[in-house]
Amino acid sequence: MPFTARLPIVLTTLALLLSLGPALHAAEAVAPPAADTAATATWQAGVARTVITPEKYMWMSGYGGRSKPAEGKVHDLWAKAVALRDPTGKTAVFVSTDLITVPIKMVAAVMEEITRKHGLGRSEVMFTCSHTHCGPALDEMLSYMLDMKEPDWKQVRSYQKTLDAKLVDLISAAVKDLRPAAVSFGNGRCHFAANRRAPKGIGPYDHDVPVLRIGSADGQTLRAVIFGYACHNTVMSYYKWSGDYAGFAQLYLEGRHPGTTALFFTGCGADQNPLPRRREELAAKYGRMLGVAVDQVLHGNTTKVSGRIATRFEHIELAFDNLPKKEALLEVQKTGSRYNQAWAGNLLKQYEVYGRLLPTYRYPIQSWQIGSKLTWVALGGEVVVDYAVRLKKELGHSGDDRSVWVTGYANDVMAYIASERVLKEGGYEGDRSMIYYQQPSKWRAGLEKKIVDTVTELTVDNRRQAALPYKLPGQLVFDGKSLAGWKKTRFGGEAEVVVRNGQLILETGADMTGVTWNRAQPPPDFDYEVSLDAMRVEGHDFFCGLTFRIGKDPCSLILGGWGGGVCGLSSIDGFDASENETTGYKEFQNGRWYRVRLRVTRSQVTAWIDGKEILVQKLKGHKIGIRGEVDLSKPFGLSTWQTTAAVRNLRIRPLTAKEKAAPRK
């Protein structure tokens, strides 16, 4: 047996290599995206773009006072995407749109397709908008403030459908375009944004211009440039399609660098306006100012991106301050302004559906680490500038050596996101704007700390991940390209097992789908660690049933069982994962990757999710077993229950002498 505790480390490693057989080595040597060799230590990028200007004139979004559909066009509206891939194959896609908002339903529809097609998890795609107030009305949310009739709504929903499909194609095109690239970043400055809260121009601002340069592999040709600015796109309020100053800035850069795609994102500019405004030449001027600032960065020294990409995405519950009573809403519906009537009507619908108003909102927070030096945070909603100022300070933004970028208006725009200061001051961003977003009241105090704490937690974890070497310890036991070394488990009722984009996808079975170890050499029995990334793509039951050996005995680590959240080992002393001492509960989000680690020593079994310990089981005096359902997964296998799952980076490594000797408590 290769996995004895007595062998020195080197020999144990060698033994592990040998035990996994020649097929594994052949596969691993050529295995992007899970490539492991230094020879492939290059970054890749893919770029795509598509026009999203509505084909027919329709209602515009941004101002409730407009009384008719658009009737002209300054320039086209675009959706653009850049896919980034690090040398380990980890991929992240940035999406920029000339739109007022990022409808949550749009994100859900697009992600469902993207996860199916490309296996990208929720954390790996960032949806942003320029918040142009000269773009089309989108489905729900902000559109309730518009004076639209049913045929207008129909047109909006039909446009939305086309838009969803275009974004799926856009992201796919960016992923298909992935090829070696030189990626670097820098920071510029631009000064037209002004704090719009009273007294105007006095409050805080963020004049940074973050710039991500995507060059050809030799760095000579500019393929794309992503840039941001923390300011409302509200120079214009007329009836012509336009990307406002951000549209002009993108056109300026694309004019200066033919063949380049320029992509804009909005920073925390919720309380920032381009002042003065309302003349088209001003929109063009601000666009040029911003474009020049970006160009300066492009022509200066940018910092090369190297290392890994790490991505995290979490929802947190933000509470509303108070929930209006039904009677009060009925009264508003009778006597209120058009805006208040729409607001009351939508909240009354909630009473109908849920019998109450929902007391919290599921708020999205995303953090990316692009190599060791660039942290890129994306927050939902119209985020006021205080967040950017605070996060840059607390996460250590120091310009080109370490940059912290904060994108607002990302992944869902459900309301203004006030800081504690703005919340206390009240006014439009702190309070009154909630009406236009169909939210019951202003936010409850305490949201700033919640948001900042979560961003910090995700960023710290990402930085740790991004600092890992390309070559992770252990042997890949799934090559990302084929089922070599595995066989489909014949549970009866199993669905397809497919290998796509470096991932093993176990489709929803009736009830189980899985793969079983199929190599001449047996899997390890003691003193080893298994690690993998697992994602529930669809379904509500366990997406990771990992059957492994503890000496001669089989055992299973179950994640997300019994309706979606139960974790534990099946079975201990005859009790399964839902009813023994390892039983725990964790809420799993579909479409999100979880890093799973399982360690087996002679004295105990330990498991972690995303670096947090979820269970420890001492072995002495306990009877280890499995449930009959997974009998065919022996001696080592993966399974799901009525659920589609994706798995990647499945590795096994022997423990070091130190790890073996000092089991964690």
Expressed in angstroms, the distance from the first to the final Cα of the chain is 28
Assigned token pair, 634: 């022996």
Strands (E), 462-527: 475-476, 486-488, 497-500, 503-506, 512-517
- How far apart are CB 405 and Zn ion at their closest, in Å? 20
Nearer to Zn ion, 195 or 516 (CB): 195
The contact set with Zn ion (CB under 5 A) reads 382
Contacts of 434 (CB under 8 A, 6+ apart): 415, 416, 440, 441, 442
Instruction: Give me the least distance between CB of 131 and Zn ion, in Å please.
Output: 6
Name the DSSP letter for residue 346.
H
Phi-psi bin for 321: left (phi > 0), alpha (psi -120 to 50), beta?
A: alpha
Q: Min. distance of Cβ 232 from Zn ion in angstroms?
A: 5
In whole angstroms, the minimum distance from the beta carbon of 214 to Zn ion comes to: 29
Q: How far is the CB of 100 from Zn ion (least distance, A)?
A: 8
- Report in angstroms how near the CB of residue 558 gets to Zn ion at its nearest: 45
Shortest approach of Zn ion to residue 317 CB, angstroms? 23
Supply angle C-alpha 417, 385, 279, rounded to 5.
100
Phi-psi region of 109 (alpha: psi -120 to 50; beta: other; left: phi over 0): alpha
ω into 571 cis (within 30 of 0): yes
Beta bridge partners of 224: 214, 261
Q: Which residue's beta carbon is nearest to the bound Zn ion?
A: 382
To Zn ion, the closest distance from the beta carbon of 382 in angstroms equals 5
Q: Which is nearer to Zn ion, 139 or 382 (CB)?
A: 382
Going by the DSSP 8-state scheme, the letter that residue 446 receives in this structure is T
Q: State the minimum distance, in angstroms, from the CB of residue 244 to Zn ion.
A: 12
Contact status, residue 540 vs residue 563, Cβ threshold 8 Å: yes
CA neighbor of 506 nearest in space, from 639, 344, 365? 639
**Cα 116 to Cα 7, 164, 492, 501, distances in angstroms:** 44, 15, 24, 10
Answer yes or no: are the C-beta atoms of 633 and 516 closer than 8 Å.
yes
- Any idea how long the chain is? 665
In what helix (H) or strand (E) does residue 36 lie, and over which residues does it extend?
A: none
Toward Zn ion, which CB reaches closer, 271 or 529?
Answer: 271
Smallest gap from Cβ 233 to Zn ion, in A, equals 9
**Alpha-carbon distance 167 to 411, whole Å?**
13
> Of 417 and 515, which has the nearer Cβ to Zn ion?
417
Q: Are strands 503-506 and 643-654 parallel, antiparallel or unpaired?
A: antiparallel
| CB nearer to Zn ion: pick between 382 and 541 | 382
The two structure tokens encoding residue 54: 């509505």
From the list 367, 363, 364, 365, the residue with the least C-alpha distance to 311 is: 367
Q: Taking the complex as a whole, how short is the minimal distance between the CB of residue 433 and Zn ion, in angstroms?
A: 8
Angle, helix 22-29 to helix 9-20, in steps of 10 degrees:
90
